[in-house]
Structure 1
Amino acid sequence: MMIKHIKGLNILLTIFLLTFASNVFANVYNAVDVIGQNTIDGTPVWTTSSANNAENIIGVNAINDPEGDMAVDTVHHRLFVNDSSNNRVLVFNLNTDGTLVDHNADYVLGQPDFDTIDFGTTQSKMSYPWGLAYDSVNNRLFVAEYNRILVFDTLTITNGMNASYVLGQPDFTSNTSATSQNGLNGPANLAYDSINNRLYAGDYNNNRIMIFNVSNITNGMNASYVLGQPDFTTNTYNTNQNGLNNPYGGLSYDSDRNYLYVGDSDNSRIMVFDMATIENGENAINVLGQLNFTTTDSGTTQYNLSTESPYGLTFDQENKRLFVTDGLGRVLVFDTTTIENGEYAINILGQINFTTAIYGTTQNNFNFPSGTAYDYVNNRLYIADDNNNRIMIFDLIKIDTDSLDDGEIGTAYSKTFESSGYQGVVTYEVGSGSLPDGLTLTSDTLSGTPTTAGTYTFTIKASDTWTDESTIEPFTDSKSYTIEITNGSTTRPRRSSGSTVSSRYINLISIGKTETANDLLKQYPNQINQVITSFNTPNQKDSPINTIKYKTRTLKYKMIGNDVKELQSYLNTHNYPVSLTGPGSLNNETTYFGLKTKQAVIKFQLANNLVGDGIVGKMTRGVMK
């Protein structure tokens, strides 16, 4: 594979600076867990870095040179890790909250068992796997390795299972490098666009990004488009607005804006392409790491990257953050809400500030960080710490309050926000929108007495100030809420947040439990009849409360409301499950329209010959009956 920073030099620097680093990194963001450096019972060991956790020992908790990508399956709760020098991909089961069940891998791909590390070119073997991308809609794992990309069906996994398809080669036993429309020469990082069913592959020795339409896959199929080159037979490197130079530095995709982030490593920059419409060899729209498209400066600054960096990218869809691993022993965090060429990073992991570059083996620094992955559901960041032979796991602040109760004019209101994953001082503010008249946000509590009826939508932003370094901004998380304020004059039972009346479920406020209608009718016949009568009798001042909101309001990603919960219930009961377990699953629907809801809507749309955009508008609502 590629030439990296000299590992021996990094190790010497680490030994020389261990005492200094233990003091310097007292004010650096800590990892919360680690894979690859643990005791037998799974306790993290932050000061060891041996390959395979011990000399000549291979097994379920061993890692050797985890240089490439990782991937998180938030539906089936799994983490896929490239164990590159062991020629395998390890699969770890996760709890529903995204934490590790334990520190031992549960499955292995590329090897028949956990004690074998042979490389090979077959339907089941691998040779130094590098890139990973996961398709949560179709349960497919894409693995880039040695001039080809293997495609696994991971609905169920067995050790050493065969790949289903191969890209870059006509069959599973060929490994020829090529510069053609269906050939590859050193595929590295991968990214997947679940809305358009596109696989992006960094073909770094050809200085290009190959784009495959993987709606239907055949072995050795042609790519649809190419970036970095004007056609499929050219492979020259360039430093301009449409050229690339060994793009092995990571790929990540922003599905909201159709942006593709490309780690153009030998140009020490990140290229940003707009994929709304695609043309071969198209220009990038922005660049990070450089002030313009023709420079290749490197350095230890707030916007520059080191020589031959980046090595990995991952994108936080919720908060529009791009995490970038840099060979200087740090992870830079860019706010991409709006992008300017050469913009400054807003946060950093692994260093005390933007001008230090110290390698180490501690709980909060790195020795050559490379691959990355981000769990958008739990705000959890995974970093492959290559020369320390470990995976570092960081929790970032996450607002845990999913929804807010509705209110009434003249009735006192109070709701306290809760967050997790922070390491400093937490503050809350209104990010956008307007609070209901009469309510104010003080510290972590929304309180007051509503004065005006209406529906109010606003965003709450939580900030974790974990360092006193002035150039480093807090880690943040934002969540959108909708509150309905009524005049309070109705005499019928007041609807709690998320309650609906349907043929399948009835929420009894007075009883405080949700069961099937038949069960409730048997247990509480009188109360049920009273509730149904009150809900189905229109009030002179109010519209009927059993209106199904998702059939009147357009719903899309990041929206919050009771109608989202109703939408999730519809999908779960019509064979398009939002989630199989945990939040969003049947009987566990939430009021938040997240990526899992979006993916379920896309599957529904495609199955009904609609445009798979994940937006529940008039056309989609018309099919939902």
Structure 2
Amino acid sequence: MKYISLFIFSAAAVCAADFTTGQAARLVIGQPTFTAQDPNSSDTILGGASGLAFAADTLFVADSNRVGASPNNHRVVLFQNLSSMLPRPTDSLIYDSKCPVCTGRATLVLGQPDFTTTTENLAATPNTLRLPTAVASDGIHVVVADTNHNRVLIWNRIPSANDAPADVVIGQPNFTSTALPGNTPSAKSMRGPQGVWIQNGRLYVADTQNNRVLIYNRIPTANGAAADVVLGQPNMTTFVEPDLTEQTNNATASQLLNPVSVSSDGVHVFITDLGYNRVLIWNSIPSTNGAAADVVIGQPDMVSAIANNAFSTDPNDTTNKQTPVLCGVSNGTDTNGNPTYPASCNATLNFPRFALAAGNRLFIADGGNDRVLAFNTIPTQNGASADIVIGQVGGSVNQASDAADSLRTPMSLAWDGTNLYVSDAYNRRITVYSVGDNSVPYGGVVNSASLNILARGRVTIAGAIQAGDAIDINIGGTQSTDSNGNVTTTGGADYKYTVTKDDTIGSIVNTLAAQMNAAANGNGDPNVYAVPDLATGDLILTARASGVAGNAVTVFATVTAAAASTAAQITATAESSTLSGGGDAAAIAPGSIVSVTGANLSYHTATPNPAQNSLPTTLGGTQVYFNGIAAPLVMVSPAVVNAQIPWELGDTTSINAYVRSESDSGDVTVTTPVAVTIVTANPGIYAQPNTSPSAGIVYHASSRATGIISVDGTATAGDTATVGIEDRSYTYTVQSGDTLDSIRDALVNLINQDPKVSAAPSGEFDRIILTARIQGPDSNGLAYSASASSTATVIMTAIGTSLCCAAVANSPVTPDNPAVPGELVYVYATGLGVPVLNDANKDLIQTGVKYPAGGPVTTPVSFVNAIAGGKTADVITATLLPGSVGVFQVLLHLNPDLTTDPYSQLTIAQDIYVSNIVTLPIVAGDGSATLTPTATNSFVSAANPLGGNAVAPGSIASLYGSGLAPQAVVAGAAPALPFTLGGVTMTLGTGFAPLFYVSPSQLNFQIPHLTVTGPTLTTLTVASGTSKTTYTVLLKPYAPALFTTNQAGTGQASTLIDGTASLAAPNKAFPGARPAKPGDHISIYATGLGDVSNRPAPGAVAPADPLPHTLATPTVTVGGIPATVTFSGLAPGYVGLYQINVDVPAGAPTGPAVPIVLTIGSVPSNTATIAIQ
């Protein structure tokens, strides 16, 4: 194979071992992966756990909560001899499970007879627990806050058997009482305690609903013992108003409201005062009732109680000016020029849950902000700001999710001297954090081909030269239009040029590019850098900001005539008002080659022996771990390590990554882990290093002339499909049961009888590749055609009218050896995801092992699209490259209508992910051809294109044909779909149709939510430029269609097992797939289920709260057995996608293809299948 440069160089600051903001967890306890969220109960699976404690090499976990996270398992589990279960941060890991960093097996359970029982014990006994939310131990005693029994249980020794009875109860007079003494507490009573702590022989209890903390100067040995000291109230019998709306008490240094935890380091006492959004610190152990706290965290003073008290506003100030309270660093200005401030920062708290002093630090579980704050010293001043944020990437960010670097309402904390344990209740897990010697920056694991997907744009200079005409290009400004239509541009940077009589288009483009690159005292424009394209008269603008941030850079071009009495002859046209194409190279597909960047990652620079068939997992003393799996290594160096993401990690959406390196003397360093987002596919194209714009590594594919025929539409028995080669015709009559694949393959067999041309099927879509039998240009111009019978539903399209473009196969595309329109070229890429597995290839695709020479052509699970030179490039194949690891060869057919451009931009895309932009030189010449249009169009459901031409309002639909759009464009990841995309606008009736995707042969769009009471014919209009085409289409109230993995509405359903990314499909049929089981909750994805409650605006994503429900309730059968439907409505975060949650019925048949059917409004869907075992 050709040499591909996979190396990039970057630097990050070297730091001593420490926690870092945004770091990922090193380990996870209680789930098989970071994102599994398994709701069952066992010795390895936790529910909505809250309270934590560590002592005597044992992690204690209260496996219940009071915040609504499910399930509540009403138990406390012990992980004894924990150090033998958890690897140390510097250990080399053994690949003995799917996730070697997902560990821990409980050894003992309290409150339940075994690890699988989760009974809520309504009656109190010495053995039973009802919603235990906190646990403490000093290595001898175990203390549990048995919250819903209004008591605290004490074991005098750490139990040695499951379900052991407690020795002592406090808060109640005996083990069977759960009563409350009205609303007037005593020194012996408790109401919903949620916090316990043991320190230096004292027992502390957060008596939550009595708004107080109790201190026992000795651990009680008798039932119903009285507390010695109370904090938060003046005495032990202060009345507590049970109705929160009637409470009038205000925050003070000695007043508490719903304290949920208490802890101490032997010197200080820390109380987490949930109701007042703060943590209080006493600088010494209080000995008197109602003692006042010394320091408050989360508020500026002792009398404030506002959640996220970032800034204040004056209701009498009409400008709504913000005044900083805890967040003093401005994040911008408002329309009046006043500074604005973030809604949260490192100093704010929002319903905090726990405070822990450990390792000379103070940690706070800031539950409402989904994060843990770390202070490097115990704060001594009110309103102190944390030094480090764990669970978020910064103090003003909230990205709550199940990712390896995220938290959702952290509840409690524990520390073992090395590891910080965090209970992550809504993710049903305990995450474990450790310090590292060096850091990989946030987003520091990227696709090694994309590296950084930068936004780009163009300004085209054209027209005639007229001295005095003036051009003004504004970068980064804002445009507004007044009531008279006058346009004003403000802000940004202006680059102006006045045309002279001796100018050319090229000299103007050169001058403007030089201006931009020399701006800001030679540092260049702050938003873009510019490259002149002299062949086209374009200024190619590339964002300096990484990723999607570059898409916000604005570009405006205006021209002023030389004199008011004349018209300007020069034109300057911005491709768009903003740059586009910026993407996320840190969203990674399984099998990708990635670059891990940082500082001091390796003690050596090394590459593996190329003669070996597999890549090593240790190279130069360096290892990279993904979820604890040692990754195959492509190269290592101090600044960058290139490795492969294991193929087997496709069943999760987030993993952790860290680098371990050992010096020649045996010193071991590890980085703090970072999270890596896992997606099905996110392709990157390899480019020549250090080229601007990025010159793609592109090769000519064929030494013979080629042509392409596309087989589209649907198969109807009796139709005929014909391919003509010169004066020879090859016709196939469609048979019953045929598919587009079988029609294509039958034509391939017929064409292969031709004396001048051979035929082969493409790997992507249903296309026929025609190849001249002789090498060289002599076959360029050989005529070919395609047609179908007049009433056929199969569509035959010849993409060109003659073979063309014989080149020197495998020679690079360069300015001296450019590609031509209509030619086949190929690129190298990574990140296309796990291919479709079958008996021929499943044993050949292995992590770290080269794909063998002669291996079958593979096809990605996610279809690959491509755009080159602004037009669709047909993807012929996208296969794993023999002799490589994780690299794909993508064969492309360039559009015959392309024009000359030395910087033609090329991208490939899968689903919503678009690759980096690379360029290739294209010169139009004799090899070019023209498209042959067809007048046949098909209006169908996007989920079931073979299901007829009726579609329901609100659903996702497709229109097939030709000449539908000037080029292929995918809607960006904006909050809502656009109504105009690629110059195309669609209307249905009187409403605009939001657009997902447009191309010459296909439009994907959402049907507006029109009111339809029965079958209704309406008008669909497609406008593109000055042309407008009208169709009559059929709408029905319901037209349910199940999405399937083959995108044809047949076979395997796009159905996930609840709480996972696993398809309910046969094992290994798809990455992470597994059969469902009776009783499993599954999510079926469909479209066409009609109107919904809480209907979103056209093109807007469905909200998560409240969820839009279908107005009619569907029925679902699984193998003919009715299934219970638990939800039917729009999938949150998506447009037009319905989600139907059902329980697999107990009597459902088993097998790899059990049929499922959905019926709504008496209209059945297509039949799809799932696997059940």
Q: TM-score, normalised by structure 2?
A: 0.29
Q: Partner of 2:209: helix, strand, or coil?
A: helix
Q: Structure 1 residues 144, 330: CA separation in 2 closer, same or farther (over 3 Å shift)?
A: same
> 1:398-433, CA deviations, whole angstroms, 9 ceiling, x for partnerless residues?
99xxxxxxxxxxxxxxxxxxxxxxx97699xxxxxx
Structure-2 residue corresponding to 1:314: 356
1:64 aligns with 2:31: no
Hey, what does 2:1046 align to over in structure 1? none
Q: Is the 8 A contact 2:168 2:220 kept in 1?
A: no
Partner amino acid, structure 2, of 1:99: L
Same amino acid, percent of matched pairs: 28
For 1:124-135, what aligned pairs fall within 5 Å after superposition? Answer: 124-135=127-138
Q: 2:62 aligns with which of 79, 82, 88?
A: 82
- Give CA-to-partner distance per residue, 1:589-610, whole Å, 9 cap, x none: xxxxxxxxxxxxxxxxxxxxxx
In 2, Cα distance between the equivalents of 1:466 and 1:36? 19
Question: Aligned match of 1:270 in 264, 279, 284?
Answer: 279
How far residue 264 of structure 1 moved from its aligned partner, in angstroms, is 0.5
Distance in 2, Cα, partners of 1:158 & 1:424: 48
Confirm or deny that 1:204 pairs with 2:184. Answer: no
Q: Distance in 1 between matches of 2:409 and 2:220?
A: 37
Matched, 1:282 2:310: no
Contact 2:77 2:108 in 1 (8 A): yes
CA distance in 1, matches of 2:134, 2:436: 28
- Report deviation, 1:133: 1.0
- Report what 2:433 is aligned to: 394
Which stretch has the larger CA shift, 200-209 or 363-372?
363-372
The question of whether the paired residues in 1 share the 8 Å contact of 2:213 and 2:232 is answered with: yes
SS, match of residue 375 in structure 2:
strand
2:192 is the alignment partner of 1:191: no
Q: Secondary structure at the match of 1:130?
A: strand
1:333-380 per-residue CA deviation (whole Å, 9 max, x = no partner) reads 12334511001011010111110011111111012211211112xx20
Once residues 181 and 259 of structure 1 are traced to their aligned partners in structure 2, the CA distance between those partners, rounded to angstroms, is 23
User: Equivalences for 1:88-99 in 2 at 5 Å?
Assistant: 88-96=75-83, 99=86
Aligned counterpart, 1:118: 119
Deviation sequence 1:413-457 (CA, Å, 0-9, x none) = xxxxxxxxxx97699xxxxxxxxxxxxxxxxxxxxxxxxxxxxxx
SS of the counterpart of 2:132?
A: coil
Cα offset, 1:320, TM superposition: 3.1
Give the match for residue 380 of structure 1.
Answer: 419
Any idea what SS the aligned residue of 2:275 has?
Answer: helix
Q: In 2, Cα distance between the equivalents of 1:155 and 1:326?
A: 30
Give 1:107 shift: 0.8
The answer to whether the 8 A contact 1:207-1:244 is kept is yes
SS at match of 2:431: strand
The CA distance in 2 between the partners of 1:124 and 1:369, in whole Å, is: 28
Deviation string 1:564-609 (CA, Å, 9 cap, x unpaired) is xxxxxxxxxxxxxxxxxxxxxxxxxxxxxxxxxxxxxxxxxxxxxx
Which whole-Å deviations, capped at 9, do the CAs of 1:164-189 have from their partners, x for residues lacking one? 10010111000012411100011011
The 3 A distance-change label for structure 1 pair 425 and 269 is: farther
Secondary structure in 2 matching 1:327: helix
* Aligned residue pairs, count: 361
**Residues 27 and 336 from structure 1, CA distance in 2 versus in 1: closer, same or farther, beyond 3 angstroms?**
closer
- CA displacement at 1:141 relative to structure 2: 3.6
Q: Contact 2:86–2:104 at 8 Å: present in 1 too?
A: no
Task: Say yes or no: does 1:32 pair with 2:26.
Answer: yes
Change (3 A) 1:355 1:234: same
Within a 5 Å distance, the mapping from 1:92-171 to structure 2 comes to: 92-96=79-83, 99=86, 103-120=104-121, 121-136=124-139, 138-146=140-148, 147-171=150-174
- The 1:140/1:59 distance shift into structure 2, 3 A limit, reads closer
| Aligned equivalents of 1:277, 1:463: Cα separation in 2 | 42
Report the alpha carbon displacement of residue 142 of structure 1 after superposing the two structures with TM: 3.8
Looking at structure 1, the residues matched to 289 and 375 of structure 2 have their Cα atoms a distance apart, in angstroms, of: 27
CA distance in 2: counterparts of 1:235 and 1:112, whole angstroms:
39
1:302 and 2:345 aligned? yes
| Counterpart-to-counterpart distance in 1, 2:385 and 2:77 | 35
Q: Does 1:334 align with 2:375?
A: yes
Deviation at 1:303, TM superposition (A): 4.2
Inter-partner Cα distance in structure 2 for 1:95 and 1:344:
33
- How far did 1:216 drift? 4.7
Partner of 1:420: none
- Is the helix fraction higher in 1 or 2? 1
Give, in whole Å, the separation in 2 of the partners of 1:98 and 1:346.
31
SS, match of residue 412 in structure 2 = strand
Shift of 1:128: 0.3
The whole-number CA distance in structure 1 between the counterparts of 2:113 and 2:672 is 47
In the aligned structure 1, how far is the partner of 2:219 from the partner of 2:131? 27
Map 1:606-625; keep pairs closer than 5 Å. Answer: none
Q: Which residue of 2 aligns with 1:231?
A: 235
Change (3 A) 1:331 1:338: closer
Preserved contact between residue 135 and residue 141 of structure 1 (Cα < 8 Å): no
Kindly indicate whether residue 21 of structure 2 is the aligned counterpart of residue 46 of structure 1: no
Verify: 1:360 aligned to 2:401, yes or no. yes
Alignment of 1:214-253 (within 5 A): 214-236=218-240, 237-248=249-260, 250-253=261-264
Deviation at 1:154, TM superposition (A): 3.5
Q: Which amino acid aligns with 1:279?
A: T
Q: 1:116 and 1:326, CA in 2 relative to 1: closer, same or farther beyond 3 A?
A: closer
Q: In the aligned structure 2, how far is the partner of 1:176 from the partner of 1:425? A: 60
Output the amino acid matched with 1:115.
Answer: T
Residues 296 and 206 of structure 1: is their aligned pair in 2 closer, same or farther, counting only changes over 3 Å? same
Work out whether residues 279 and 298 of structure 2, in 8 Å CA contact, stay in contact via their aligned partners in 1: yes
Change (3 A) 1:315 1:463: farther
Flag the 1:105–1:424 CA change in 2: closer, same or farther, 3 A. Answer: farther
Change in Cα spacing, 1:465 to 1:149, as seen in structure 2 (3 Å) is closer
Shift, 1:49, TM fit: 2.0
Aligned runs of 1:535-546 on 2, under 5 Å? none
**Partner deviation per Cα, 1:276-309 (whole Å, 9 max, x = no partner):** 45110011011000010111122253344444x1
Counterpart residue identity of residue 118, structure 1: T
Alpha-carbon distance in structure 1 between the residues aligned to 2:429 and 2:672: 27
Cα deviation, residue 463, structure 1:
13
Is the CA contact 2:145–2:193 (under 8 Å) kept in the aligned structure 1? no
Once structures 1 and 2 are overlaid, which stretch shifts more, 111-120 or 389-398?
389-398
TM-score scaled by length of structure 1? 0.54
More strand by share: 2
Aligned partners of 1:265, 1:224: CA distance in 2, in Å?
23
Q: CA deviation at 1:275?
A: 3.7
Shift, 1:98, TM fit:
7.3
Q: Distance in 2 between matches of 1:271 and 1:338?
A: 10
Cα distance 1:27–1:370, how it changes in 2: closer, same or farther (>3 A)? closer
What is the Cα-based RMSD across aligned positions, in Å? Answer: 2.8
Superposed displacement of residue 211, structure 1? 0.8
| Residues 114-142 of structure 1 deviation map (CA, whole Å, 9 limit, x = unaligned) | 12212321100100001111122x34344
